[in-house]
Amino acid sequence: MVIDPITLGKAIAQRADALDRHAEDILYPIILGCYGNEESENDLHALKQSCHNSGFTNAILLKDIPDPQQPQTIDYNIKFKLLIKEYKEDPTKRRIICPIIYIHDAINKGKGKGLISEFFDVITYFPELREFTVVLKHTTIDFIEQLNYVHPQNVYHIISLKEGMGYLVPHLKGHMGFLKQTLWQTESLKRKNTHNTTNEVTSC
| Residues paired with 155 in a beta bridge | 135
User: Does residue 199 lie within any of the structural domains?
Assistant: no
Tell me, yes or no, whether 16 lies in a domain. no
* Domain extent at residue 120: 21-193
pLDDT digits 0-9 by tens, 123-177: 999 999 999 999 999 998 877 888 888 999 999 999 999 999 999 999 998 887 7
For the whole model, what pTM was predicted?
A: 0.80
Domain total in the chain: 1
- Is 201 among the domain residues? no
Inside any domain, residue 50: yes
Residue 11 lies in a domain: no
Q: Tell me the HSE value of 196 on the side-chain side, using a 13 A CA sphere.
A: 6
Compute CA distances 96 → 110, 130, 149, 154, whole Å: 32, 12, 19, 16
30: domain CATH number? 3.40.50.450
Cβ atoms of residues 34 and 105 within 8 Å:
no
Query: Average pLDDT, whole number, for the chain?
Result: 83
pLDDT tens readout for residues 66-83: 887 766 788 999 999 999
Q: Is residue 13 part of a domain?
A: no
Q: What is the pLDDT of residue 180?
A: 75
Please report whether residue 6 resides in a domain.
no
Query: What residue spans of the chain are helical by DSSP H?
Result: 5-25, 38-53, 76-89, 113-125, 161-173, 176-198
Asked if residue 150 belongs to a domain, the reply is yes
Q: Is 78 left (phi over 0), alpha (psi -120 to 50) or beta?
A: alpha
